[in-house]
């Protein structure tokens, strides 16, 4: 019955770790980035609107993002818990999530803050650009995404830290090492873990 958030700069490894933590915590992972990308690929109305922002390294407007998450968090499979990867990313999204959770009578258990320095992040994303050709992984767009993160998402760290929810985990090292660090931090907070 774990409800957790994964926050961190682009390229810190949120998506990579979310897949593993979803198994470790036995909850569905919900990645707003993945949902937007899938809508872009399918050419939906949401995808067309989202692509304009994503390709420029901007956040998709809160109005679009909040509706999407509200409807996803009302689905039956998240009643027993969830992992939100990359949401919330703005102060307005925090308020929206608070409201959604208040409506369900649940609260968050932990916010995992995955950290990584800028050079490492830029290197990883340029590598991903080479491998996957994502439109938001060019160097200029990556730098802009980092600025947007610093401006709009870092204030969330204090908000959740004041609630006593944040565990910071170093995102440098191999994917396995980072997973081990996160699961150890969750275990130390009494979060139930399942064997993968
Ligand atoms: P995301 O999909 O969340 O994109 P991201 O931040 O680049 O992904 P992530 O951080 O998960 O990448 P990962 O480290 O796993 O969002 C994309 C866009 O969607 C946003 O820019 C925004 O426009 C929009 N969006 C999403 N959510 C939104 C919201 N709530 N509000 C508004 N807009 C929103 O992977 C990076 C690379 O590093 C990969 O190639 C991976 O293989 C590699 N890697 C991972 N861990 C590694 C390790 N330990 N060592 C070496 N490489 C590693």
3-state secondary structure 15-55: HHHHHHHHHHHCCCEEEHHHHHHHHHHHCCHHHHHHHHHHC
Nearest CA to ligand 1 atom 12: 11
> How confident is the prediction along the chain (196 residues), in pLDDT tens digits per residue?
899 999 999 999 999 999 999 999 999 999 999 999 999 999 999 999 999 999 999 999 999 999 999 999 999 999 999 999 999 999 999 999 999 999 999 999 999 999 999 999 999 999 999 999 888 999 999 999 999 999 999 999 999 999 999 999 999 999 999 999 999 999 999 998 987 5
Q: Which residues line ligand 1 (CB under 6 A)?
A: 10-16, 31-33, 36, 53-54, 59-60, 65, 86-87, 89, 93, 124-125, 128, 136, 145, 173-175, 178
CA atoms within 13 A on the CB side of 145: 24
Q: Across the chain, how many H-helices and E-strands are there?
A: 9, 5
The ligand 1 atom nearest the CA atom of 137: 7
Provide the pLDDT for residue 190.
Answer: 94
Q: How far apart are CA 126 and CA 137, in angstroms?
A: 6
Whole-number Å distance, alpha carbon 175 to ligand 1 midpoint, is: 14
Give residue 135's pLDDT. Answer: 87
Residue pointed to by tokens 């067309």: 48
Distance CA 104, CA 114 (A): 27
> Rounded distance, CA 153 to CA 147, Å?
10
The domain locations on the chain are 2-188
Instruction: For residues 57 and 138, give the distance between their C-alpha atoms in angstroms, rounded to a whole number.
Output: 9
* Fold topology of 2-188: Rossmann fold (3.40.50)
Question: Which atom from ligand 1 is nearest to the alpha carbon of 90?
Answer: 31
Q: How far is the CA of 11 from the centre of ligand 1 (A)?
A: 5
Q: Which residue, 165, 170, 186, is CA-closest to 9? A: 170
Contacting residues for 42 by C-beta, under 8 A, at least 6 apart: none
Annotated catalytic residues are 14, 89, 128, 134, 145
The per-residue pLDDT for 196 is 57
């Amino acid at each position: 019955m774990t409800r957790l958030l994964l926050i961190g700069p682009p390229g810190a490894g949120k998506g990579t770790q979310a897949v593993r933590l979803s198994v470790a915590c036995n909850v569905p992972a919900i990645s707003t980035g993945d949902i937007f990308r899938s809508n872009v690929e399918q050419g939906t109305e949401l995808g067309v609107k989202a692509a304009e922002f994503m390709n420029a390294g901007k956040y998709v407007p809160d109005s679009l993002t909040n509706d999407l998450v509200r409807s996803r968090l009302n689905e039956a499979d998240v009643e027993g818990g969830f992992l939100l990867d990359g949401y919330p990313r703005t102060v307005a999204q925090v308020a929206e999530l608070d409201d959604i959770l208040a409506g369900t009578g649940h609260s968050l258990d932990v916010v995992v803050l995955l950290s990584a320095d800028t050079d490492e992040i830029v290197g990883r994303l340029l590598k991903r650009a080479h491998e996957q050709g994502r439109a938001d992984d060019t160097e200029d767009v990556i730098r802009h995404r980092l600025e947007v993160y610093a401006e709009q998402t870092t204030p969330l760290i204090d908000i959740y830290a004041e609630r006593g929810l944040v565990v910071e985990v170093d995102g440098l090292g191999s994917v396995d090492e980072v997973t081990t660090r996160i699961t150890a931090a969750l275990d130390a907070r009494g979060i139930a873990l399942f064997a993968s």
